């Protein structure tokens, strides 16, 4: 007997330790967790009273983990510039003009986009993040919040460590544990050595993680080396932030010694391939990091530098870039890329015992992708099983039909159930127009 939810007749991609695939499988969800998983016929007979969601023709897999994003409203308006010129001309002026209400609208828009495209968990680095917590709570998203902390002179329009502490105290481990708060520092060029050391001490005190930008610009990496005598990851090590509860975004330009430091300290990396391409930053050495045992998850970065939050689109670029960079078609197979977008992202966030794979006892964060599409046909089993390959190389976020987070169905048949998606879109449109007006005085001539 069961009053839970039975997702039936799907191809189940468990992403467990054996990457087990269950054709014509089913999952039972009870009290927010996976209570049973196996052949659909057996589970349908075992739980005749469960509510049933027929997922025939779908692949069911763990919800995607977006390990690095920035909520935002300036999509498509800050284009075709090198990264630091882009920051100076468009992004920093936006931060000067941002308000908590505008940040709330941006978070609601970004989190809605994430859910609609199959992401169930995000690491968001943004501002006024008490309002981001409100948005995640409303929409039912799992979110680790990492405020933009900056302490260099003249940049007091960003967040401070004091505000970061208050956010940890007030919102960490809230919304049934879906909302976590980490300490976060914007960039080595924006933060003092003391800020990093203080963040490391605070993260230890409050038992939370640390997030910051690893280097994506070769020019900035060289400048930091010229100014300090140390490469960026060496600076992070000197300042005490590397470790198993730290995630560095990008890490495009790494020397062998830096990669070895990441491996030795257990530090994780958020790989953002589309952003790195769009800003002409380069291609991160993902294959080498994986070979060293570094945990590498996947992030979209923000809507201003991607320009979307579609993790399934992002997923395709991960193996393609490594194959092209190394001229080796065998590196980063589809199954490995899928692990990076699910269980490895969860591991980087310290959540791999709860989410990231479909296993009995884990929290029910999962998505159902509709394979009854021309671009996902044929679906083949047996010797030529192609569901994982089609998911990685052919699917997009628009193919996601159902989303479950923390055992709650938040999207069904592509209809958002946790909030009014159209109201969110309209509110974001109005907020963006307001932001552009407020930002105008700060745009450099």
CATH number of the domain encompassing residue 52 = 2.30.40.10
**What is the arithmetic mean of pLDDT over 106-127?**
98
Q: Which of 399, 335, 340 is nearest to 367 (CA)?
A: 399
Same domain as 205, residue 149: yes
Q: 317 and 241 in one domain?
A: yes
**Claim to verify: residue 330 and residue 381 sit in the same structural domain:** no
Predicted confidence (pLDDT) at residue 1 exceeds the cutoff of 60: no
Q: Is residue 440 part of a domain?
A: no
pTM comes to 0.97
Residue 173 pLDDT exceeds 60? yes
Per-residue model confidence (pLDDT) at position 445: 76
Per-residue model confidence (pLDDT) at position 83: 81
In terms of domains, do 44 and 184 share one?
A: no
The per-residue pLDDT for 401 is 98
Would 426 be classed as within a structural domain?
no
Alpha carbons 73 and 422: distance in angstroms, whole number = 16
Asked if residue 209 is part of any domain, the answer here is yes
H helical segments located in 77-183: 83-86, 92-97, 100-116, 129-139, 161-171
Query: Could you tell me if 177 and 50 lie in one domain?
Result: no
Q: Give the residue-averaged pLDDT of 245-273.
A: 98
**Domains of the chain: total:** 2
Are 57 and 166 within one domain? no
**146 and 289 housed in the same domain:** yes
Do 99 and 49 fall within a single domain? no
- Do 167 and 247 belong together in one domain? yes
Share of the chain above pLDDT 90, in %: 94
CATH code where residue 281 lies: 3.20.20.140
Cα(93)–Cα(71) distance, integer angstroms: 16
Residue 419 domain flag: no
The pLDDT assigned to 2 comes to 65
The pLDDT tens digits of the residues spanning 341-388 come to 999 999 999 999 999 999 999 999 999 999 999 999 999 988 999 999
Q: Which has the higher per-residue pLDDT, 444 or 15? A: 15
Its domain, for residue 254, covers 64-348
Same domain, 91 and 214: yes
Q: In terms of DSSP H, where are the helices of 229-310?
A: 232-238, 256-265, 273-278, 286-291
C-alpha span between 249 and 280 (Å, rounded):
16
pLDDT tens-place string over residues 410-426: 999 999 999 999 999 99
């Amino acid at each position: 007997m069961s009053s839970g939810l039975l997702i039936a007749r799907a191809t189940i991609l468990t992403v467990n330790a054996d990457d087990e695939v269950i054709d014509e499988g089913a999952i039972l969800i009870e009290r927010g967790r996976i209570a049973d998983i196996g052949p659909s016929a057996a589970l349908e007979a075992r739980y005749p009273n469960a509510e049933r969601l027929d997922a025939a023709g779908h692949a069911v897999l763990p919800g995607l983990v977006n390990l690095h994003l920035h909520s935002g409203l300036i999509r498509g308006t800050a284009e075709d510039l090198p990264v630091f010129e882009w920051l100076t001309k468009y992004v920093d002026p936006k931060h000067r003009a941002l308000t908590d209400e505008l940040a709330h609208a941006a978070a609601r828009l970004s989190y809605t986009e994430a859910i609609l495209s199959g992401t169930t968990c995000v690491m968001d680095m943004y501002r006024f993040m008490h309002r981001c917590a409100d948005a995640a709570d409303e929409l039912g998203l799992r979110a680790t919040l990492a405020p933009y902390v900056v302490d260099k002179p003249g940049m007091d329009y960003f967040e401070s460590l004091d505000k970061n502490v208050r956010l940890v105290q007030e919102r960490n481990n809230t919304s049934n544990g879906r909302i976590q708060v980490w300490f976060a520092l914007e960039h080595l060029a924006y933060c003092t050595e003391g800020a990093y050391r203080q963040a490391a001490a605070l993260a230890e005190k409050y038992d939370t993680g640390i997030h910051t930008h690893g280097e994506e610009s070769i020019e900035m990496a060289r400048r930091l080396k010229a100014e300090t005598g140390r490469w960026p990851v060496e600076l992070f090590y000197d300042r005490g932030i590397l470790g198993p509860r730290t995630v560095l975004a990008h890490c495009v330009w790494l020397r062998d010694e830096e990669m070895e430091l990441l491996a030795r300290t257990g530090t994780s990396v958020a790989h953002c391939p589309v952003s790195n391409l769009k800003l002409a930053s380069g291609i991160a050495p993902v294959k080498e990091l994986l070979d060293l045992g570094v945990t590498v998850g996947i992030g979209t970065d923000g809507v201003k530098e991607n320009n979307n939050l579609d993790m399934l689109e992002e997923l395709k670029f991960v193996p393609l870039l490594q194959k092209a960079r190394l001229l080796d078609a065998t590196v980063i197979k589809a199954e490995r890329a899928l692990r990076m977008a699910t269980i490895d992202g969860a591991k980087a966030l310290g959540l791999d015992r709860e989410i990231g794979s479909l296993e009995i006892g884990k929290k029910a964060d999962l998505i159902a992708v509709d394979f009854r599409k021309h671009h996902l046909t044929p679906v083949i089993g047996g010797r030529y099983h192609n569901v994982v390959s089609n998911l990685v190389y052919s699917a997009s976020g628009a193919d996601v039909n159902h989303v479950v987070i923390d055992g709650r169905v938040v999207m069904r048949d592509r209809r958002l159930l946790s909030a009014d998606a159209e109201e969110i879109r309209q509110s974001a449109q109005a907020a963006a127009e307001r932001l552009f007006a407020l930002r105008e005085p700060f745009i450099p001539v």
